[in-house]
Amino acid sequence: MKGGLGLVSLVWLFWSAAAMADDLPKFALCMDQEVARYERALAHAQTAPDVFNIGDARGIEVCGTAAIMICDASDAPLPCQRRLAAEQQAWRAAVLATLPAPDAVAGQAGEWSGDLYPRFYAMAHDRSAGPDCAGTTEVMQVWCEAREANRRLERAVLAWQLARYMNATPDAVNAGWAQVPPPQRPQARKPAQTQD
């Protein structure tokens, strides 16, 4: 699960900036790629448990941060970031809808389901204590709202990852909140260097 996140996300960032037909970032593509990456890691967890990291949803933050940056560089940053925040909230709602209640998985996976999952579930369902982003300029408030929406989505995906690990929820594609990402073009191999 380690290593590929930065490269995939960086490629996505540059591709999005170059290929964007409008000012709304290709956030869904990045999310689809991140979900597919997790599913690949989960499929190999039995054969290589030492490289599997259950508690890593940093790719979601990378997707959100890259999308905010793309909005910042667009012709209409504030409307773009408002749409981004709404899109992230919709993703989060779809992820939350697939999470089993903690009592539905209690006892199925030892401390994973008894201690850890209820905490992840509670974090994923957090509620705002008020206007988190109020009291600043409109530009900063809109940026903050997109950022906070991304953090809430990240926590929801983290709970989903654990539920998937426990085989307590379907994969994101079958659940309907992600798509299979398009295949990536393989990179040409660098020629081997010869020593004199």
The percent of residues above 70 in pLDDT, for the chain, comes to 76
Q: Which residue has the higher pLDDT, 7 or 35?
A: 35
Q: What is the mean pLDDT of residues 172-196?
A: 78
pLDDT tens per residue, range 142-158 = 999 999 999 999 999 99
- Max mean pLDDT range (8-12, 25-29, 146-150): 146-150
Task: Assign 14 a pLDDT band (cuts: 50, 70, 90).
Answer: very low
Mean pLDDT (the chain, rounded): 80
* pTM of the predicted protein model: 0.75
The pLDDT, as a whole number, for residue 127 is 64
Task: Assign 15 a pLDDT band (cuts: 50, 70, 90).
Answer: very low
Token couple for 111: 């401390």
